Chain A
Amino acid sequence: MSTTALQSPRTGMKAARPAGGVNFLRALHAEWIKFTTLRSTWILLATTLAAMVGIGLLGAWGVATALEQAADSGRDPGADGVRPQLLYLMPTGGIDFAQLIIGSLGVLLIASEYSTGMIRSTMTAVPDRLSPLFAKALVIAAVAAVTGIVSSFATYFLMQPVLAGYGQEFGLEVENLVPSMLLSGAYLALASLTALALGSLLRNSAGGIVTLVALFLVLPTVLGLIQLDWIQDALPYLPSNAGRQLLALEIAGGDLTRLQGGLVMAAWSAVLLAAAAVVTKVRDV
């Protein structure tokens, strides 16, 4: 056990052993390396961006066409439910799909470590177990936020030349437009955190993604069909419904405010992440 024995040229380090152990920043650095060195990360991020921009542009084009046809036939466009204001929603119009794609990335970020066995390397390198989980949370939330903001602004700017052909351009001064585009980042960040928590709780990619889709897409639709008062009352508190207030340009009187909606969605993420933290800490890896 002498120190000279530790510096064997065959297996040891020739230089003095650098000091320092694990800390959260290093765990974060490691998670960032892991995040950026998987091809699936880039594919899913590119798909999220493409979904946001593509759906937004298609939506804008459709609305503009409808407006033009209504104008040509001399009818009041509002009678068909087509209003120019619909265009203002299109920069964030792809969020329903984007949340599922980046949510899948959030699930995979941790569930794929369980399925490949990588988690055992992760948890032996950083044995407090919570640092890797929270570092992953930080990475996916930050990336999702940037993706949301970049893609909604990209959609807005790419939309303008299309709309110009229909004389329907609109500016960033439209009320609440810029906040909604910025908050699309918060929305995707919260969605991806919920997804990460689901992946961590279920430790299974397929199960996590299915649960994510159920929670964000199926449940709001199905429950919306059930005409029971208490279900209708609960509906606005589902994560995607509540989070939608972050993107809304105008909010009706009885609805959750922008802040309330954001907080409800954040509460879903926080509770599920807390549960994931407890389970990660207690359960064997």
Chain B
Amino acid sequence: MIEARGLVKVYGGKPQKYAVQDISFTVRPGKVTGFLGPNGAGKSTTMRMIMGLDDPTAGRVTVNGRPYAQHKAPLREVGALLDAKAVHTSRSAWHHLRAMAATHGIPQQRIHEVIELTGLGPVATKRVGGFSLGMGQRLGIAAALLGDPQTVILDEPVNGLDPEGVLWVRNLARSLAAEGRTVFLSSHLMSEMAQTADHLIVIGRGRIIADASIQEILDGQGRARTRVRTGGPEGAQLLGRVLAGPGVSIEAREGCLLEVSGVEPRAIAQAALEQQVLVCELTPLQASLEEAYLDLTRDEVEYHSGALAGRPDAPDDVAAPAAAGRQS
């Protein structure tokens, strides 16, 4: 169980950079929770804060009930692969695992077990510097499992793995979760997450943009909602009556606040115009995770290179609500 509350991480320098802005989430045991976001979204920073390597600027994160550093036997509580390169390149895998095990008095038999489990046997006595990326990942996972932890955190575990390795990680994550453990793994690939995770936390530019089960996300696919705020409750009622129809769902949230799905934002605006209803807000809400995720990724790409700034291939139905949302 991992619980983050109001987590903020600001990196110093000018200008200050928000790596993570006020995020809260809970990662529960017994399932695989995916942490999805484009590169630079704050996934690794968040994981480093969970592991006590980075101090949060504000907020708090606990693992199995207490901050990581306060556990008496942290490796038995939480195992993490934060970075496949968190190993001295001149040491052999076997000696690396021996040193890690020594900190917790973990018996040698367990080292053999994790070496066997991760398939490191043939290279265990070789220098880590000569490892392929995939072998490095396997060593990182072996170290993470050394303490037989209740919570397992894997940062981009399939990076650099061949298809067989990807499948192996996927099965490992699923079997760890099936044993009742908390499994939290990050990726920047939606497709990978869709195949491994039960639950998804999506992060973009340091903020959580979705936190839902895969099923909810699949159910929500294609059901774009729009939040409409009118000048007064009468207007909201009028607009609700006009928009009502087959395939349209309208929820009245407060007096003058509606959540509409099944109608394009543009059509809502058109109806409001015809009925002379004052609209103060017209905001498209997470059309679908894939779209929201793509939008974020696109923003990142624009930010970095500007090559896709024009986005001529962007579908109208994505671009239009975004534009409408900004104008309102």
Contacts and interface: CB of A to CB of B under 8 A. Distances in A.
Given A124-B52, A127-B74, A285-B53, A30 B85 contact: no
B175 A1 contact: no
A117 B180 contact: no
Contacts of B51: 124, 127
A285 B91 CA distance: 21
> How many interface residues does chain A have, given as a range?
35 or more
A128 interface: yes
B29 A128 contact: no
B102 interface: yes
B180 A22 contact: no
Interface in A220-234: none
Given A6-B148, A116-B85, A11 B179 contact: yes
Contacts of A78: none
A38 B90 CA distance: 6
B143 A121 contact: yes
Contacts of B48: 284-285
A75 interface: no
A33 interface: yes
Contact of A5 (B53, B82, B96, B180): B180
Contacts of A6: 148, 150, 179-181
A209 B48 CA distance: 29
Given A1-B150, A125-B100, A126-B103, A20 B73 contact: yes
Contacts of A12: 148, 179
B69 A11 contact: no
Interface stretch (B104-112, B261-269, B288-296): B104-112
B224 interface: no
B107 A18 contact: yes
A69 interface: no
Given A30-B100, A30-B103, A121-B86, A13 B74 contact: no
Interface in B69-118: 69, 71-76, 80, 82-83, 85-92, 95-96, 98-100, 102-107, 109-110, 113, 117
A123 interface: yes
A125 B105 contact: no
B86 A17 contact: no
B184 interface: no
B162 interface: no
Given A21-B76, A26-B102, A126-B103, A1 B29 contact: yes
Contacts of A117: 83, 85-87
B176 A11 contact: yes
A27 interface: yes
A87 to B, nearest CB: 40
Nearest to B153: A124
A199 to B, nearest CB: 14
Contacts of B83: 117, 120
B98 A20 contact: no
A22 B70 CA distance: 11
A227 to B, nearest CB: 43
B300 interface: no
B35 interface: no
B179 A8 contact: yes
Contact of A26 (B68, B103, B113, B180): B103
Contact of B74 (A29, A37, A124): A124
B89 to A, nearest CB: 5
A228 to B, nearest CB: 39
Nearest to B117: A11
14 contacts: A6-B181, A12-B179, A20-B105, A26-B102, A30-B100, A30-B103, A34-B88, A34-B95, A116-B88, A118-B87, A120-B82, A124-B52, A125-B103, A127-B71
Given A124-B82, A125-B103, A126-B103, 5 more contacts: A5-B179, A5-B180, A21-B104, A121-B143, A125-B100
List the 5 shortest-distance A-B pairs measured between CB atoms, nearest first: A21-B73, A21-B72, A37-B95, A5-B180, A127-B69
Interface of B: 29-30, 48, 51-55, 68-69, 71-76, 80, 82-83, 85-92, 95-96, 98-100, 102-107, 109-110, 113, 117, 143, 145, 148, 150, 172, 175-176, 179-181
